[in-house]
Structure 1
């Protein structure tokens, strides 16, 4: 049995006089320790898929199993990192990174140790008494990463976490997030619009079609690239041919339609 299984997954949103199917017929298995990315055109249901996996949304059809257990609601087994850091501005960095632990009732020193270790590893131990407004965008995303990892979740969901950053900061943070995930042997799913980011960071790339999103293709990143830092992958001779292959595949599936809502 795979670590994460999506079986015949479908999500339809209903309004008073219409409905829109965001994703349908999604069947996907992800092994423990695997890092998978999801790419596709805007509006194809990438973020919806992450919300379903997290338990924030319930599928209209199908089932999601995490380590053999059906996901019905949000669970501490899953960590979520978004484009915005959503740090609480009135809390110190120290309080922000331990907020999840506090809400879970894990307030002893041994429970907090991982959060403080991660903050130190990511070079922010001297900022623990600072407030979010005193940090740069890249620093805030590092804090968000620590907050996500501090509860030691089994599965990490990353929804375009670097898209709001300048390019130099983005590249540095890619390396940092990749190294942290691999060091802690986490299973992770990255949603991104950036083909290069998907190749550089992940082991397998899932391409979704136009809405309603279906799995159109899967690409396995060469094994030697999977162990390299993202910055180094971008400079490798195997990077550009794979980029071109995925780009052409995306182009071939785009028909200019965004799948308008159906009127009842």
Structure 2
């Protein structure tokens, strides 16, 4: 069996400007009444710039950077959610990711039905998901609401169900984006315990966070992103120092 690995070579990723253009009736009317005004052109966003990085089995890596620096985009690129514009991405191993927890729910379907739908999105078989239904319902603590349509759930209920489904099984590579706020104190205690178990079983952990204590306690290596580029790659303690330096420079500018 191959050892899990994440390898990016000269990777660039652009967000197309068309994704940022408004298409609402309000926008069209506004343009009609302001034909003489100078137009603002939205440029493509160069979200990842020439990223070359390798993460091997056994590594615990923390990603640091200001909001918009490229951390989350990097994670989603590794997870295969974003196609790269150029370069090469190689990932060996089964990925489990905890971000965009609301993704993959069908509002008109019940919570029970959505367990199966979301499981399929995660690459899990219907047979496996059916074997996990009782455990997921119990962990999410939704009771009779599991047979109500998702559109009747509060945001907290949706996150609890999504978290329970997404963590029903671990993987070789665990991708985490920030701390997950998933409900009341009792549920958060269960959530932290389950995340700790997933981290312990994972061969590779990549955690993007602004929580320095979490990064120091969970990670050995730190990678600092700034405007889509990697500006530092080394020990987590040195990475925290470098991140503070980068932020101080940003504030001065």
Q: TM-score, normalised by structure 1?
A: 0.64
Task: Assess, with a 3 A threshold, how the Cα gap between structure 1 residues 28 and 102 changes in structure 2: closer, same or farther.
Answer: closer
Alignment match of 1:52 (pick from 77, 90, 109): 77
Question: Residue 130 of structure 2 aligns to a residue in which SS?
Answer: helix
Task: Assess, with a 3 A threshold, how the Cα gap between structure 1 residues 147 and 22 changes in structure 2: closer, same or farther.
Answer: same
Task: Assess, with a 3 A threshold, how the Cα gap between structure 1 residues 150 and 14 changes in structure 2: closer, same or farther.
Answer: same
- Structure 1 unaligned regions, length at least 5: 69-76, 221-241, 260-264
Tell me the residue number matched to 1:97: 115
- Structure 2 unaligned regions, length at least 5: 18-40
Equivalent residues in 2 for 1:179-194, closer than 5 Å: 179-182=196-199, 184-185=201-202, 187-194=204-211
Equivalent residues in 2 for 1:29-108, closer than 5 Å: 29-32=54-57, 34-67=59-92, 77-82=94-99, 84-86=101-103, 87-102=105-120, 106-108=125-127
Task: Assess, with a 3 A threshold, how the Cα gap between structure 1 residues 99 and 117 changes in structure 2: closer, same or farther.
Answer: same
Task: Assess, with a 3 A threshold, how the Cα gap between structure 1 residues 154 and 180 changes in structure 2: closer, same or farther.
Answer: same
Question: Residue 67 of structure 2 aligns to a residue in which SS?
Answer: coil
Deviations 1:210-249 (A, max 9, x none): 20321413335xxxxxxxxxxxxxxxxxxxxx5xx65543
Question: Residue 84 of structure 2 aligns to a residue in which SS?
Answer: coil
Cα separation, 1, equivalents of 2:188 and 2:213: 11
Q: How much does 1:40 deviate?
A: 0.8
Question: Residue 214 of structure 1 aligns to a residue in which SS?
Answer: strand
Alignment match of 1:217 (pick from 220, 223, 233): 233
1:83–1:160 contact (8 Å) kept in structure 2: no
Cα separation, 2, equivalents of 1:180 and 1:119: 19
Cα separation, 2, equivalents of 1:36 and 1:2: 14
1:118–1:146 contact (8 Å) kept in structure 2: yes
Question: Residue 256 of structure 1 aligns to a residue in which SS?
Answer: helix
RMSD: 3.8
Cα separation, 2, equivalents of 1:58 and 1:102: 21
Q: How much does 1:23 deviate?
A: 2.2
Cα separation, 2, equivalents of 1:4 and 1:193: 22
2:63–2:225 contact (8 Å) kept in structure 1: no
Question: Residue 250 of structure 2 aligns to a residue in which SS?
Answer: coil
Give the aligned length: 222
Q: How much does 1:49 deviate?
A: 0.8
Q: How much does 1:83 deviate?
A: 5.1
Cα separation, 2, equivalents of 1:60 and 1:46: 17
Richer in helix (by share): 2
Cα separation, 2, equivalents of 1:166 and 1:101: 22
Matched, 1:7 2:24: no
